[in-house]
């Protein structure tokens, strides 16, 4: 078996792309999208007709409603290819507005349901701010499953677990990026690879904590920079992987052992942690990497959401 097939034996593989024409060759169970991936897709000639048709069908509606129609249209096309779930993201510009996040999630789910897609096949992606996590807490109570994204710190993971969210997406590659940049010329790539990679270590800590304390929230490592990071997290509940890295895994037949171990985690000595709003904000503030990457991620997604707005307005 190639490494992708081996990985699927103990980890659910998710495709990290808005390019649904690429999906079938990798046979992922789920797919995730974000504003940057959708923006990239709509600028491709392959998807221009889909975008144009969707915008024309809803011309005259408010811009934010048309954007959601576009996002859901991509999600519907993805769901024709994957047997599982698609993640569709709430506008990052609402990351600090709990009520607006809930309202947008309701609209997105409503569009899917109107198209005949059940809630079990959709994850609403929300940034892992305090407001986003509390919005997800309420949505989960309504049976709307959430994927908490832009997650960089242990305190974010703890709060998501306490909120009962369906799934979290800790960003392996962006954590790696921050530590590499921070170290500068002192960075030692070999010493910081595999299980020693700072992003891998972060996800491993979260995975072990959840398994130890019986937290049902799924852990989905995301934002990978190389296959070594993926290999070091084999056994994680899910991993969302770009088409480029999926192809690299598919091209290798080297052995791929399972690394993360739920049984070992349950036997480990890991103390429980709890956060209210004040302790969450303080813990996040004390983590320079997470504070910077969360803010940077929201800004970047907001910029791409604005670019998508402009493309739609130009049609």
Residue 120 CB partners (closer than 8 Å, separation 6+): 85, 145
Give the integer Cα–Cα distance in Å for 206 and 176. Answer: 16
Give the integer Cα–Cα distance in Å for 150 and 155. Answer: 13
192 contacts 141 by C-beta, under 8 angstroms: no
DSSP 222: B
236 contacts 260 by C-beta, under 8 angstroms: yes
CA atoms within 13 A on the CB side of 289: 23
* Active-site residue (options: 52, 80, 98, 125): 125
186, with CB counted inside 10 A (0-12, 13-18, 19+), is exposed
Residue 82 CB partners (closer than 8 Å, separation 6+): 15, 23, 28, 29, 30, 31
273: phi then psi, degrees, rounded to nearest 5:
-130, 145
Catalytic residue check, 125:
yes
Q: Is 169 helix (H, G, I), strand (E, B) or coil?
A: strand
- Distance of alpha carbon 62 from the chain centroid: 27
CA distances from 59 to 53, 62, 69 (A): 10, 8, 11
DSSP 224-261: -SSHHHHHHTTTSSEEEE-HHHHHHHHH--S-------
Q: Which residues belong to the active site?
A: 125
């Amino acid at each position: 078996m190639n490494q992708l097939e081996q990985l699927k034996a103990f980890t659910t593989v998710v495709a990290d792309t808005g390019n649904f024409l690429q999906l079938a060759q990798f046979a992922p169970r789920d797919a995730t999208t974000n504003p940057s991936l959708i923006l990239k897709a709509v600028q491709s000639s392959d998807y221009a007709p889909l975008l144009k048709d969707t915008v024309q069908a809803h011309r005259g509606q408010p811009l934010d409603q048309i954007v959601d129609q576009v996002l859901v249209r991509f999600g519907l096309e993805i769901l024709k290819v994957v047997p599982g779930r698609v993640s569709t993201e709430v506008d990052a510009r609402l990351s600090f507005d709990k009520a607006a996040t809930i309202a947008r999630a309701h609209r997105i789910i409503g569009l899917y349901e109107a198209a005949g897609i059940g809630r079990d096949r959709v994850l609403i992606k929300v940034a892992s701010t305090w407001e986003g996590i509390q919005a997800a807490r309420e949505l989960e109570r309504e049976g709307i499953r959430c994927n908490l994204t832009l997650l960089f710190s242990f305190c974010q993971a703890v709060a998501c677990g306490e909120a009962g969210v369906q799934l979290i997406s800790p960003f392996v590659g962006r954590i790696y990026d921050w530590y590499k940049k921070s170290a500068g010329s002192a960075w030692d790539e070999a010493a910081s690879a595999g299980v020693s990679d700072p992003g891998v270590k972060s996800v491993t800590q979260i995975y072990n904590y959840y398994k130890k304390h019986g937290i049902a929230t799924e852990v989905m490592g995301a934002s990978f920079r190389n296959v070594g990071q993926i290999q070091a997290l084999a056994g994680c509940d899910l991993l969302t992987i770009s088409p480029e890295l999926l192809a690299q895994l598919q091209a290798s037949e080297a052995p791929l052992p399972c690394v993360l171990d739920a049984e070992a985690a349950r036997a480990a000595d890991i103390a429980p942690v709890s956060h209210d709003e004040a302790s969450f904000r303080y813990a996040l503030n004390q983590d320079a990497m997470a504070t910077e990457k969360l803010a940077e991620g929201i800004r970047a997604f907001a910029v791409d959401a604005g670019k998508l707005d402009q493309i739609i307005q130009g049609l």
